[in-house]
Every structure is written in structure tokens, then in C-alpha cells.
A and B are shown apart, each in its own frame.
Chain A
């Protein structure tokens, strides 16, 4: 046995954890697949076509920008796939396919490539894409159709197949032919905002009760999110903070404002709040890395969502709330830096510790040191 003749010099650590970007992203995609399947089950081939076209548009745009060297990353990291799937889930199922493609391309171009690709984006690309089409095609994006229509697996919703740059066909007439009134195609949030009728929270939770114009079941989204959180591909703090603060704000307004406002459960399970809290707000690149920052960021999004829903002209506010939260992320991070080891409360004993210290032996300087007040915003500038 001879000793090696050629060795290499490397810098420690010499071993590497199992986790990789591809693995994280692939797991998010896996967890999204059941949700997409449910969406297709609800709305049939229109939804399937929408998901395929939007995702393909995202992937093509990503490919083009990576090829031209405009942004970092590659298709194999699955991040553009996530953007495409999420974007498709936020669009109405009968959204014209060419508009879906515009949404996908603008999501990657404006939301990601502009900033330099994976990791550098400031805003969630899927929401940037949605915001773009919401501004560009306000009528089409507000046109919902009821779920579980008969024949949804054999025929497209007529608006889906609009020619590029052409106005989509009118779905109201199509629905009328199928014995649905105009109200059936309004989302629960729009019904509440403009008609004043509430949908039961239990029906919203499963999305299964009759022909409602709703997205995939919140229960399913929460389950898929729980899988990600348990395998630590997602931080549980952000959805917890978003839902907690949205629920709390809605409950406070409900308790103080009385019957004028809906109950907090309706607020939580309607619209895109669950999908936004679990999949949009938790986008790693656009949310804070600091644990305390995650709570602040989630809390901000929750409050903003409820405020926009209640006090603005729009029925839905999750998208703008998350985009504002994204914009605030660098600031939130700055004031919520973690406290380094040994720089917090100088002598703080944990209750479960096996041994205790005798105060006489702690050096005088340390014993007399005042325990600094625990401040949530450590770096908050003091008022002078």
C-alpha cells in the first residue's frame, strides 16, 4: 500500500449537507401537483390548458433570459416551474390562454430577469406577472366561472380560446345557456363586497360545495404546506404570521364593527389568502431570512390583506399585500437582525438547565451588568 502521491488543498468544512436548491424547489413543485390536480378537477380542461400554457411561457422566458446571459440559474432548478404553477393557480380558470402566456412571460421578465435571476428578485415573480395582467386586462381577470360545470372535461370555457390580441368571448351568455345566473360566477369575496352575501366558511374550506367560483381547497393547500413545513422546505413562521394576523385583524374588526363585517373565518378561507400565505409569502428570495423578521413580515401582510379587502375598491388584497411585504423585506431584515450569542441578556438561565451557577463565582463585572431590556426591534433607531 503506497501513500497517495497527489493531494488537494481545500478549506474546511470538508463535508456538505444534503440540501440543495434543486431539491428545495423540486419539493415545492411536488407539493403543488395535488393542488393543480384539484384545480383541474374543479374547472376541467380549461384549467389544465391554463396551467400548461402559463408554466410553458415561464419556462420559455426563463430559458431565453438564461441563454442570453441576462440572469443566473437554469431551468433545472425548478424555480420557473414554481412561478408558472403558482401564477396559473391565481388566474381565473377561463382566463384567455394568450393572456396567460403574457402573464408568464412578464412574470419572469419583469419579476425575475430584470433583477438578475434566482435569488436576486425583490418581488415574487408570480405576483408580478399577475399584477401585470391585472393592470393590462382588468375585465378578463375579474371574470370567474363556477366550478364543477357539467361537461368541463370535454369543452373549454369559451373565453380561454380567444385569439391573441382579441377580446375573449362573453362567458355570461355561455353560462346563461347552461342555466346559471350572473351571480353564480362571482367569487365569494366579490359577492360579499358588492352583494353583501356571505358564503359559509365550511363550504369555503373544502371548495366542494356546489358551483362556487373559488380556487383549490384551502384544506388541501394547508396540507401540502404542512408537508413542506415539516420537511423544512418552507418556514412555518410566515404562514402562521400571515394567517394569525389576518385572522386577528378580521376578528377585531368583526368584534368592534358588528354585523357590517364578515366573520374572521370567512376572511381566512376566501379568496387567495391561504394560497398566498402558504406559497406566495413564503417565497424564500423575497421574504426575510431573520426569524423575527418573518413574524413581522407575515404580520404586515396579514393586516394589509384585511385592510385592502375592507377599505379599498378591490374585493381581493392578498396580491398587493404580499408585494408591499416584499418591498418592505430589506427594511424588516435590517431591524430584526438576530442577537448574537452572548450579546443578549448577559446572564439568563434556562429553566431546564442541568446545573445552576453560584452567583458568587460570576465575575463582578458580569454580575453587576444590567440585563438589557429585550427589544423585539433591536436596531430600531432611538428617538432623539
Chain B
């Protein structure tokens, strides 16, 4: 494989090929019913938490803003269901610490129609007003990073955007939510792309899809508006292509300079799910109240892509999808970079792309493995998409020489894709050590 790719010309260098396991790729998106109680965290995004604008006991309509953006790098939150605000209190979050949440008791008898929102004619808006409209939707990057979308679509002074890169790679195994969105909501996606191009001033848009999703590429090609500067490009499947820098390299053959954004090359990268949701919400003037989540894993009775109201507790999602009783690990996101959750009371937030369940027997293959000392086979060096030397970094981490890791071996460039740990035959927890090392270096820098 590796030898062949030398001659074929790769999408981006190195990376790994985990088994796809995209079992839910052909099941249409279904709607998840409303849980009796929805928990809307005020911090579902990168940036400052939102400020609640409702009080306990207040009745809210589905789609009504319940928290406002606190500053520029912040987004508002909207009520995911019609009901009454039961509490504004601390609740567990997926990352661990308890965060401030608005708890809504859902009215069972309500129609749950979205009544809030005023249709707006975006074509009449100047670009900066489109950006403000994006902020009003409460949109964040739905690919998993949850970075506020309006901030991403804002072009800073002095920079120009040539290309809007639309990220439809979905390189994580198991996840199919972006795939289904591309197949089913291609028209919304095109609307979203059009508005995003106007907001950024981009001349063209390129949708990058991995070639294991021909149906998605086909659906989008059919939905392309005639005469538009939107292109669909299939790139060879490889993890971590969904990382924006890797996708840019796959499409353009250039490397985004270290420590810079793709913006420095005249590009803005957005996820397909984000733009498809924007394409639906922006013209209607509505807010983000639900998202498509892949619920899957070995032993799940009804795996599939579900349209889940934000704030739905994971336990409710698992009940509905039929998680096996012997499930031992629940992961939010994909298996390569997802977060395993401690409490099933944790709600689905804007950044959750998948709920993945593993049973004890699925993990046996990993747990039974012995850990050897590094045999310096070089597999990690061959797989690190950032061109680092994880073998050396791992040895330094074992000796706690964190400063050398950061200064001489470019630890700061690691984006924790996990390729090194995935591929390590000695079963060394490399990326886990790097996470710890990065945290220690961050704390050192802050002190």
C-alpha cells in the first residue's frame, strides 16, 4: 500500500486507514422524539458562554432564543422544544466539569412547531450583515470543533478569501451524519454555500468528499446550481482527512504554514453539516435547535442517523436506539478523537456528531494487548500527518522532558488525531502522553 502510494501521488502525506465501519450510511435520517427534559448548556462552543435571557418558571417556545451571545466570540442558544424552564443550574458536561445549563421541561401536548423566526432576504444583505445573521442562528462548527461559525466566516482586515472549502470528508470511522446530510440536504447545502461565499467574498467553493461516499458526491453534483462556481471533488479516503489542513493539502497540494490558518492561503474551510444547516436556518431566520447525530456501535439495536433536539440526554438517545445492556463505553464523536463520557446524563450539544457504543467484547482486542517498549519500528513516523516523530516524543514524555518535546520536536503542531496510538504495534499510548504533555506545557506557559 505504502509503496504504491509513492507512485500514485497521495492526497496528503502519511495518515492511517482504519476500517470504515460506516454501517449506517444507507439509512435515511430519522427524527428522535423529545426527551421529557432537555438540558441546554450555555457553553456548547469555543468562546465565552452565552448569557441566559429567560428565568426559571418561564414558558419558552420551540426556537425562541433563551440565551444571548456574550461578546463577539459567543453565540446565542435557542429553546430546542416548547416547554417551561425548570432550572438554570450546574449539570455534568461531556468534558467532565459541571457547567451552567438551562433545563427545559418539555410540554408533551405541544405541537412543537417552530413558530419563532422571521424570514429574511439574504441576497439584499451586505456581507457583514450575513455574518451577523449567522451569529443570530447560534451556529457553530458541527464537525466537532464547535467553533462559532460567524467568526469563521469573518474575513479579517487585509486578508482576502479566494476559495470556500467545504469539508465533507467525514474521515472518522462509524460516523455517517455528514454523509446523510450531503445525500438528503444537498439543496440546503448549496444555499448555505452561496450565503457563505457572499459573506466571505469567496470566488469559488470546492466541496471535498472522500471517495468512499460516491452517493454523497453524486447527490451534490445533481444539486449544483447551473453556472455556479461550486465544484465537488472526490479525494482518496484516508484518516485524518477531515482535518482542515489535511483537506487543503489534498485539494491544492500546498501545506498550510505551521501556526497559521488556511486563511493565510486565501481559504476558509467549513463543514458540510454546518453549511447545510445554515442554508435552512438563515432564510427562515431561525436558530439552531437540533442536529444530525450518528448513533451506532456494535450491538446497537437500531443504529442510524437521528435528528436529535439539542439538550437531549445521552441516556434517552441510547434508550431509543436500543443500546445493549452490556455496553461498557459510550463515546461522543468518532472512535479516533471522540470523548468517552462518564455520565449518561450528559446532553447532546452542538458539537456532538456521533454517539458510539462499545461492549466489553468489542474492547477485548484492545485490552488484551500487551504493552512493549518502543521497538522503533517507525510506524508512528510513517503515520503522523503532521510529520512529527512520535517515537522520539514518546520517549521524551516517558522521561518527562516536556520542554524538549515542545521546543525541539514540535509538540505544539500535534492536533491529537491519534494516528500514532492507532498504529503503534507496541501498544504505547502515545497521543495520550502528548495530551498530558501539551497540558503541562500550557500550564507552564500560563504560570
Q: Would you list which residues of chain A between 4 and 24 have a CB under 8 Å from chain B?
A: 4, 6-17, 19-21, 23-24
A11, B435: Cβ atoms closer than 8 Å: yes
Asked if B322 is at the interface of the complex by the 8 Å CB criterion, the answer is yes
- Is B186's CB within 8 Å of the partner chain A? no
Q: A8-B328, A19-B425 are in contact. Are A287 and B257 (CB under 8 A)?
A: no
- Chain A residues lying within 8 Å of B392, measured Cβ to Cβ, are 289, 333, 337
Q: Assuming A20-B427, A362-B264, A366-B260, is B255 touching A342 (CB within 8 A)?
A: yes
Q: Is the CB of A337 within 8 A of B389?
A: yes
Tell me if B251 and A360 are in contact (CB < 8 A): no
Contact A2-B325, Cβ < 8 Å, known A73-B372, A119-B375: yes
Q: Does B211 contact A (CB under 8 A)?
A: no
Interface residues of B in 63-78 (CB under 8 A from A): none
- For residue A21, which residues in chain B have a CB less than 8 angstroms away from its CB? 370, 372, 375, 425-426
> Which residue of A is nearest B19, CB measured?
A15
Q: Is A148 on the interface with B (CB-CB < 8 A)?
A: no
CA of A11 to CA of B436 in the docked complex: distance in angstroms? 11
**B167 in the interface (beta carbon within 8 A):** no
List the A residue with the shortest CB-CB distance to B243. Answer: A341
Say yes or no: A4-B323 contact (C-beta < 8 A), given A119-B375, A363-B159: yes
Stretch of B51-59, B135-143, B378-386, B439-447 contacting A (4+ beta carbons < 8 Å): B378-386
In the bound complex, do residue A9 and residue B342 qualify as a contact, i.e. CB atoms below 8 Å apart?
yes
Closest Cβ–Cβ distance, residue B365 to chain A (whole Å): 7
Q: Which of A12, A16, A232, A355 contacts B251 (CB 8 A)?
A: A355
Which of A19, A73, A229, A230 is in CB contact (< 8 Å) with B379? A19
Asked whether, in the complex, the Cβ of B372 is within 8 Å of the Cβ of A77, the reply is yes
Stretch at the interface among A184-192, A248-256, A313-321, A346-354: A346-354
Cβ–Cβ contact A20 & B425, under 8 A: yes
A260 sits at the interface (CB 8 A) = no
Q: Are B421 and A13 in contact (CB under 8 A)?
A: yes
Interface membership of A75, Cβ < 8 A: no
Interface residue A180 (Cβ < 8 Å from any Cβ of B): no
Q: Is the CB of B344 within 8 A of A7?
A: yes
Query: From B329, which residue of chain A is reached at the shortest CB distance?
Result: A8
State whether A285 and B376 are in contact (beta carbons under 8 Å apart), knowing that A349-B252, A357-B252 are contacts in the complex: yes
Q: Which of B160, B326, B422 contacts A361 (CB 8 A)?
A: B160
Is there contact, CB below 8 Å, between B251 and A117? no
Query: How far apart sit A360 and B380, CA to CA, in the bound complex (Å)?
Result: 37
- When A21-B426, A340-B386 are in contact, do A361 and B161 touch as well, CB less than 8 Å? yes
Residue of B nearest to A289 (CB): B378
Number of chain B residues whose Cβ lies closer than 8 Å to a Cβ of chain A: 99
Q: In whole angstroms, how far apart are the Cα atoms of A96 and B223 in the complex?
A: 79
Given contacts A12-B339, A14-B338, A361-B160, contact A352 B327 (CB under 8 A): no
Is B410 among interface residues, defined by CB-CB distance under 8 A? yes
B358 located at the interface, meaning its Cβ lies under 8 Å from any Cβ of chain A in the complex: yes
Q: A14-B329, A72-B373 are in contact. Are A342 and B338 (CB under 8 A)?
A: no
Q: Give, as a whole number of angstroms, the nearest-CB distance from B55 to chain A.
A: 32
Interchain CA distance A348-B424 in the complex, whole Å: 30
Contact of A4 among B2, B344, B421 (CB under 8 A): B344
A2-B325, A11-B432, A366-B265 known; A119-B335 Cβ under 8 A = no
Shortest beta-carbon distance, B347 to chain A, in Å?
A: 14
Asked whether B260 lies within 8 Å of A340 as measured between CB atoms, the reply is: no
Contacts of A116 in B (CB 8 A): 373
- Let me know if B254 and A15 touch, CB within 8 A: no
The verdict on B285 contacting chain A, using a C-beta distance below 8 Å, is: no
Picked from A7, A17, A343, A362, the residue with its CB within 8 Å of the CB of B258 is A343
Residue pair B386, A341 in contact (C-beta under 8 Å): yes
Contacting pair B256 A342 (CB below 8 A): yes
Q: Which residues of chain A have C-beta atoms less than 8 A from B385's C-beta?
A: 341
Q: Among the interface residues B162, B326, B377, which one has the most CB atoms of the partner chain A within 10 A?
A: B377
User: Is A68 part of the binding interface, using a Cβ–Cβ cutoff of 8 Å?
Assistant: no
Question: Are A3 and B253 within 8 A (Cβ)?
Answer: no
Is A338's CB under 8 angstroms from B366's CB? no
B389 x A4 contact (CB < 8 A): no
With both beta carbons as reference points, the residue of chain B lying nearest to A236 in the complex is identified as B3
Chain B 248-280 per-residue mask, 1 if CB under 8 angstroms from chain A, else 0: 010111111111100111100000000000000
CB-defined contacts of B416 to chain A, threshold 8 Å: 12
**Once bound together, how far apart are the Cα atoms of A1 and B326, in whole Å?**
11
Tell me if A's interface is mostly helix, strand, loop or mixed. loop
* Of the residues A16, A284, A333, A340, contact of B377 by C-beta under 8 Å: A284
CB proximity of A18 to chain B, nearest CB, Å: 9
For the complex, is A344 an interface residue (Cβ under 8 Å from B)?
A: yes
Please pick, from A3, A4, A347, A351, the residue contacting B328 in the complex, using a CB distance under 8 A: A4
Closest to B383 in A: A17
**B residues less than 8 Å from A19 (CB atoms):** 379, 423, 425
- Chain B positions within 8 Å of A368 at CB level: none
Interface residues of A in 310-338 (CB under 8 A from B): 333, 337-338
Contact status A353-B381, CB under 8 Å:
no
Complex interface bits, A22-63 against B, C-beta within 8 A gives 1, otherwise 0: 011000000000000000000000000000000000000000
* Known contacts A10-B340, A343-B258; A338 and B329 CB within 8 A of each other: no
Partner of A360, one of B160, B323, B336, B410: B160
Interfacial chain B residues near A369, Cβ < 8 Å: 257
Residues on the A chain within 8 Å of B326, using CB: 4
B258 lies within 8 A of A341 (CB): yes
Q: How distant is A279 from chain B, measured CB to nearest CB, in Å?
A: 15
On whether the beta carbons of B344 and A358 are closer than 8 Å, the reply is: no
B214 within 8 A of A: no
**A346 and chain B: residue at smallest CB distance:** B257
Q: Determine if A8 and B340 form an interchain contact, defined as CB atoms under 8 angstroms apart.
A: yes
Q: Kindly state whether residue B301 has any CB partner on chain A within 8 Å.
A: yes
- Fill in one digit per residue for B344-380: 1 if any A CB lies within 8 Å of its CB, else 0: 1000000000001110000001100110111111111
Q: CB of B79 within 8 A of chain A?
A: no
**Nearest B-chain residue to A13, judged by Cβ:** B418
B380 CB to closest chain A CB, in angstroms?
A: 8
Tell me, in angstroms, the Cα distance from A16 to B422 when the chains sit together. Answer: 5
With a 10 A CB-CB cut-off, give which of B257, B333, B391 has the most chain A CB atoms. Answer: B257
Chain B residues lying within 8 Å of A120, measured Cβ to Cβ, are: 373
Judge if A154 is at the interface, Cβ distance under 8 Å. no
Can you name 5 A-B pairs with beta carbons within 8 Å? A9-B340, A11-B432, A337-B409, A341-B413, A355-B206
Q: Assuming A285-B375, A340-B386, what are 6 further A-B pairs, CB within 8 angstroms?
A: A9-B342, A24-B425, A338-B381, A341-B256, A350-B253, A353-B252
Closest 5 CB pairs of A and B: A350-B253, A361-B266, A353-B253, A13-B418, A119-B373
Interface residues of A (CB under 8 A from B): 1-4, 6-17, 19-21, 23-24, 72-73, 77, 116-120, 229-230, 232, 235-236, 284-291, 294, 333, 337-344, 346-358, 360-366, 369
